[in-house]
Structure 1
Amino acid sequence: MSRITMKDVARQAGVSQPTVSHVINGTASISGNVTRKVNKAIEQLGYLPNAAARSLKKNTSNIVGLIVPSVDMRFYGELVKVIERILRREGYITFLCNTFYNGHLEKEYVETLIQNNVIGVISGSDIVDEKSYSLLINNHISTVLLDTQKKLEGMFSVQVDNEQIARLAVSHLYDTGARKISYCSEPIATSMLQTRYECFTHAMKEFGLTLHKNQCFFAQNQCNNHSKIEMGYDVAANVLLQDDIDAVFASSDEFAYGIISRFKEHEIDIPGQIQIMGCDNDPFSNLITPSLTTLQQPISLMAEIGVNMLLRLINDQSLNERSKCLEPSIIIRESTKNISTRKN
């Protein structure tokens, strides 16, 4: 069955097709009686205007592109939920794009967004291929990047202070008596993950601690093939081969869950033998056993500031700063020792 068209509405209402168009788009003065006939016909037929055609005619739309690696990762799932809620309240619809860190797929999405006249784009992480970023800028698409450490020309961004994340983690573990701290991470697929690792190495030096290669472990599998929990579980096997590691800092809570699972299988006492600390304050971090000490990232605030930035750009309003850096906070739970029981 063919789709209901404006021509069908005109026939049902007993008016011309241009009259229907004027009623829908508000482009001419139409009498109240005719307007009521057209709206009644639209309701009876269930007619929906062609949004693509309307946006092409007006050279704009109410669609915002939302690019993330994968909503399966709870950090990005939470980010998407907050962004969608705010945009919907402001009258915008989101076009969600999961790229799985694939630059080719990302470029296809960006081209599609531009072809559909999106009014703006928010990326929840790096733009993997800088050519995709150039496409957005060259086509004058307002763009804001979240959770990135990249510095691109004309970029607007919101991120969390990874230097502070690393310092809080190492400081807390040091205060509990840990001296040989392992760094465990998912694949370094983003500038944020790279920066977090670099900041961790600097924080270790600040506290006079040595970080050897056999203390740092990175998952090799791509994130679209394995969950973070599975990757953490696999990496934990390498930690267990080292006899003297007394604490682990995981790049995310989900990654830490996998490590905890492997340690439990080997009857490792957490935190008695090895302490574990994550990052994100995932909703499940307080529900697992032992509950996970973690660094809380203000995900909702990051999303709110990013959307507000984008809306100002869309409305040609000035911004006082191109980049906003947010502060993390530490949440101490059962997976690390109390400072009062630290080693001598």
Structure 2
Amino acid sequence: MRVTIKDVAKQANVAISTASRVINNSGYVSEDTRQRVEEAIKRLGYVPNSIARSLKWKQTFSIGLIVSDIGNPFYAELAQAVERAARERGYSVLLTNTDSKAAQERDCVGVLAAKQVDGIIWYSPINEELVDEVMENSRATVVVITGKEGHLGHHTIRIDDQLGAFEAVNHLISLGHTRIGYIAEPSDPKFPQERMKGYRRALAEAGLEFDESLVVRGTYQEGSGRKAIKVLLGLEERPTAVFCANDLMAIEAMQYARGVGLRIPEDLAVVGFDNTKLACLHGIDLTTVAQPTYEMGREGAKLLISSITKPLSPRQLLLRPSLVVRRSCGQYLKEGQR
């Protein structure tokens, strides 16, 4: 197995960013710390990978943004927030799309390297080691936006996905639902599993048993919600409510359910996650967990550009989502409203 900068940092008992400064001979590092890192490099036989060597410290006043699916309205809204904040500070944004594929993610890094961007905002990396490679082989600044805990070696904006999912499912339980389906995030461990943790935690705290048959893994992408809800509605004892890991899958689930004669929310309550602009359209009225999309994009750009201007030690910012109640969950029916 290839020795990485993480191994060097752990061996030397320093942060990844400190090890990176020693390897790239950039920024201040005390002589004692530098010696420890250099000794760790020799002991482990560390050899820097060639990837991202072309991300040179030659300022271009441009930054890269890596997202998973530009067809998802959530990412379009995030990109808009990043672009506005960057433009206010004299920077342009180069958008790249991975389609949730590791190989394509690496290609995205290559594109940004070729363009010599000054830094990268990276939404939910598929290959976390690739982030480390970019940091160890270049002086480019990286800000990661994620729902997963960790990422302590670089700037991180984390959304409390587990809390958001917990509140969504807890809300359905408060409306009397005990059989709640979940159209979930992909099972691949490279994807954050915090929303699944929130779903299970809400059930456990309410004294409801976790039923694996009520969980169908989605992909976050178009067509996934339709396939998943078809499975759930085909169960002998179908769920009376469904929580979905994003709005796109939730809206597809609603459309399919209506297509087979079910009423939303009278026959099936639905809750999503993201609060995209589609969620509030008439006829959809989706109850959903609102991610602070504009804030995460704006803060990500601000942090990245500040760090480009003056290198900062790794910073972590935690943002809280909130539940937005609309008609799809059935609360208004319970309150006697139409």
Category of TM-score, reference length = shorter chain? 0.7 to 0.9
Question: Offset at 1:188?
Answer: 4.1
Per the alignment, do residues 254 and 117 of structure 1 end up closer, same or farther by CA in structure 2, a change over 3 Å counting? same
Per the alignment, do residues 133 and 70 of structure 1 end up closer, same or farther by CA in structure 2, a change over 3 Å counting? farther
**Are positions 1:258 and 2:268 aligned together?**
no
Deviates more, 1:292-301 or 1:159-168: 159-168
Per the alignment, do residues 111 and 103 of structure 1 end up closer, same or farther by CA in structure 2, a change over 3 Å counting? same
Q: What one-letter code is carried by the residue in structure 1 that aligns with 2:108?
A: Y
Residue by residue over 1:63-83, the C-alpha shift from the partner in whole angstroms, topping out at 9 and shown as x without a partner, is 211111121111111111110
Q: What one-letter code is carried by the residue in structure 2 that aligns with 1:149?
A: K
CA distance in 2, matches of 1:301, 1:125: 16
CA distance in 1, matches of 2:108, 2:230: 37
1:201 alignment partner, SS class: helix
2:242 alignment partner, SS class: strand
Where do 1:57-136 residues align within 5 Å?
Answer: 59-128=58-127, 130-136=129-135
Match of 1:267 in 2: 261
Match of 1:23 in 2: none
**Are positions 1:329 and 2:329 aligned together?**
no
CA distance in 2, matches of 1:311, 1:111: 21
Per the alignment, do residues 150 and 105 of structure 1 end up closer, same or farther by CA in structure 2, a change over 3 Å counting? farther
Which structure carries more relative contact order (alpha carbon 8 Å, separation 6+)? 2
The count of corresponding residues between Structure 1 and Structure 2 is 280
Equivalent pair of 1:251/1:279 in contact (CA under 8 Å): yes
Where do 1:163-174 residues align within 5 Å?
Answer: 163-174=162-173
Equivalent pair of 1:62/1:92 in contact (CA under 8 Å): yes
Where do 1:230-249 residues align within 5 Å?
Answer: 230-242=223-235, 243-249=237-243
Q: What one-letter code is carried by the residue in structure 1 that aligns with 2:331?
A: N
CA distance in 2, matches of 1:144, 1:178: 39
Question: Offset at 1:151?
Answer: 2.5
Per the alignment, do residues 190 and 78 of structure 1 end up closer, same or farther by CA in structure 2, a change over 3 Å counting? farther
Equivalent pair of 1:231/1:255 in contact (CA under 8 Å): yes
CA distance in 2, matches of 1:182, 1:193: 19
Q: What one-letter code is carried by the residue in structure 2 that aligns with 1:279?
A: F
Where do 1:203-242 residues align within 5 Å?
Answer: 203-219=202-218, 227-228=221-222, 230-242=223-235
Equivalent pair of 2:147/2:160 in contact (CA under 8 Å): no
Question: Offset at 1:271?
Answer: 1.4
Where do 1:296-307 residues align within 5 Å?
Answer: 296-307=290-301
CA distance in 2, matches of 1:59, 1:339: 57
Equivalent pair of 1:125/1:145 in contact (CA under 8 Å): yes
Equivalent pair of 2:185/2:196 in contact (CA under 8 Å): no
Question: Offset at 1:113?
Answer: 2.4
Match of 2:9 in 1: none
Normalising by structure 2, report the TM-score.
Answer: 0.76
Gaps (5+ residues) in structure 2?
A: 1-54
**Are positions 1:295 and 2:294 aligned together?**
no
Q: What one-letter code is carried by the residue in structure 1 that aligns with 2:62?
A: I
CA distance in 1, matches of 2:302, 2:136: 19
Gaps (5+ residues) in structure 1?
A: 1-54
Q: What one-letter code is carried by the residue in structure 2 that aligns with 1:332?
A: V
Question: Offset at 1:132?
Answer: 4.6
Match of 1:286 in 2: 280
Identity of aligned residues (%): 26
Per the alignment, do residues 260 and 340 of structure 1 end up closer, same or farther by CA in structure 2, a change over 3 Å counting? closer
Per the alignment, do residues 341 and 131 of structure 1 end up closer, same or farther by CA in structure 2, a change over 3 Å counting? closer
Q: What one-letter code is carried by the residue in structure 1 that aligns with 2:89?
A: E
Q: What one-letter code is carried by the residue in structure 2 that aligns with 1:325?
A: L
Question: Offset at 1:183?
Answer: 0.7
Larger radius of gyration: 1
Match of 1:338 in 2: 331
Alignment RMSD: 2.4
Question: Offset at 1:145?
Answer: 0.8
1:284 alignment partner, SS class: helix
